[in-house]
Structures are given as C-alpha cells and as structure tokens.
Amino acid sequence: MVTVSSRRGTWGCLALLAGCATTPTAPSVPPPSLRQEMEEGRASWFFNAASALTLTFQQQQLLINLGQQVRGQSSVVAPARRRMIGVIADGIASGVFDEQRIEAGLTEIAAASRERQPSVAQALAELHAGLSPAQRQSVVESIRQAMSGSSAQLRDERDQVRQRVNALTADAGLTTEQQQQIDAQIVNSFQKYATDLQTEAQARRKQLDALCQAFTGIYFEPTPDSVSSIPDLVAKTNRLVAFARALTALLTPAQRTRVAATLRQQTSPDSEAAAALPSPSGALYGAR
C-alpha cells in the first residue's frame, strides 16, 4: 500500500502518482500490551511498527534478534515482576497486604527496568541503522497513529483487568452477587484512575514524540534515560495492587486461597514460557 501526499491541488496527476509509488503507507498497528512493555520496554512501540512493514529477510532477522536481545535483558525484570505477583498472591490468600514487601517490590521492578534501559537504547539504534529512511518514516507514522488512540488506554487496561479477573476467578465459585460487585469495582476503580491514566499518557506521548523525531534523522543515538518506562511500570503495578485489595475484600477465605493459587500458577516461569510468543509481538502484562 502507498500513501497519498497531503499537498494536493498544486501537483499534477503524474507527480501525485510518483509520490504514491515511492512512499509507503504507515501500517496501522496497536499500541504495545502491558506485558509487552514489561518484556521489551519502549522498544516495543518500534518493534510493533517495524514488524508491520514489508521487510527483507535480513531485516526480519534483525528485528527478531533485537527482540530476543531486549527480552533477554528483561530477564532481570521478569523475576522482579513474579516476586511482586507473589506478594500480591500472599495478600489475597491471607487478606492482609504487607506494605513493606509491596514497597520493596516496586523498588525492585524500577531498578530492574533501569538496568534494562541501555539494551533498549542500543536495540533502537540498531533498528534505525537497519531500516531505510522511508521505512523509518513509516515506523514513526505508525507509532504516532497508535499514540493518537491512546485515549482508549483506560478502557483497554480496564478490559485487560476484567480478562485477568475472569481467568483467576473462573474456578472460585463466585455467586452472581459477587460477580456483579467485582464488575462494579472494576468500573469504579478505573473511573478513579482516569486522571492518572491521562497524565501517564501525556508523559508517554511526549517521550515517544521525541524518540520519533530523532528516529527519522540520519543519526539516532538514544540515551538510556530517554527510553525509560519506569513510571508506567510502577503506576500499573500500583493499580494492580490496589485492585487486588478490592477483590480480596469481596471473596471468602476459601475463594481467596483458590484465587491466590491460580495467580501463582498462571505467573510461574513454566507457564509464561509456554505461552510466550517467538516474535516481537506481545501479549498482556499479567493476562493473555
């Protein structure tokens, strides 16, 4: 597919067709999922956009290798995330959430993400070098299209939480009243977080705009700090903890035990490895 230039009226038909023949249309791609951001950081936006292009075999291999490289460095993030999930599971099972362990878990996730940042910056620099100027422009346009739809983040994250809760409570024997209470809690929680989600989206858009602007240039050398996704990861984890508290209050002790066991099982290394995708496309953070 090709794009039609916006500079109409002054161009003749031949010039318009020539522009169409040389400039690729930016593919429409969705924003990265929550889990993909955990695995690939800010590189996930560029990987998604690049994977939608028509790539040579060498470029395909480059994209695969870069995704593996970043996810390999994310090996420091995954254990931190699993330990935090363990803290949450303990809180659900007991009905008491350990504030000190939660704070320590958030600190560990932030530190692990910071350790991963240089590899993300390096991967983006290598991706930039491996694409043509037209392909880089298409990547940037795709990312900006995805960002323009980020006002739906509240709904998307809410739907992901609903999927997660349905999976966790499928065998918990919920009553109809409990299910209705949980559904209402999900809606109320994300209405409460609407302002926070908007603030996060604005900060993320500003950061990605700067990366996109640089990505279209001849030289692109992002710094580790310029690709940081720490604020997003910490905020999303805080919301996960807050919802786990609310969910726990609606369950019986036996249901809490069952939900906590399911949570541990679904986030175990073996379970996640079996569900992992071999390409740079992602799945939900904590849910599929």
pLDDT tens, residue by residue, 155-170: 666 777 778 788 888 8
What average pLDDT does the structure give for the chain? 80
pLDDT (0 to 100) of residue 149:
60
What pLDDT does residue 156 have? Answer: 66
Better-predicted residue by pLDDT, 146 or 106:
106
Say if residues 135 and 113 touch (Cβ distance below 8 Å).
Answer: no
At 279, is the pLDDT very low, low, confident or very high (cuts 50, 70, 90)? very low
Dist. CA 268–CA 266, nearest whole Å? 6
Could you tell me the pTM of the whole model? Answer: 0.74
**Buried-state track 114-123, b at ≥16 Cβ within 10 A, e below 16:** bebbebbbbb
Specify the pLDDT at position 259.
92
**Chain segment 18-42, per-residue pLDDT in tens:** 333 334 456 677 788 767 887 888 9
So what's the pLDDT on residue 195? 83
Q: Are 273 and 106 in contact (CB under 8 A)?
A: no
Q: Is 52 helix (H, G, I), strand (E, B) or coil?
A: coil
One-letter amino acid identity for 174?
L
Q: What is the pLDDT of residues 206-230, one digit of tens each?
A: 999 999 999 999 999 999 999 998 9
Helix%, strand%, coil% for the chain, nearest 5: 75, 0, 25
In the chain, what percentage of residues exceed pLDDT 70?
Answer: 80
Secondary structure element (H or E) that encloses residue 195, with its range = helix 194-215
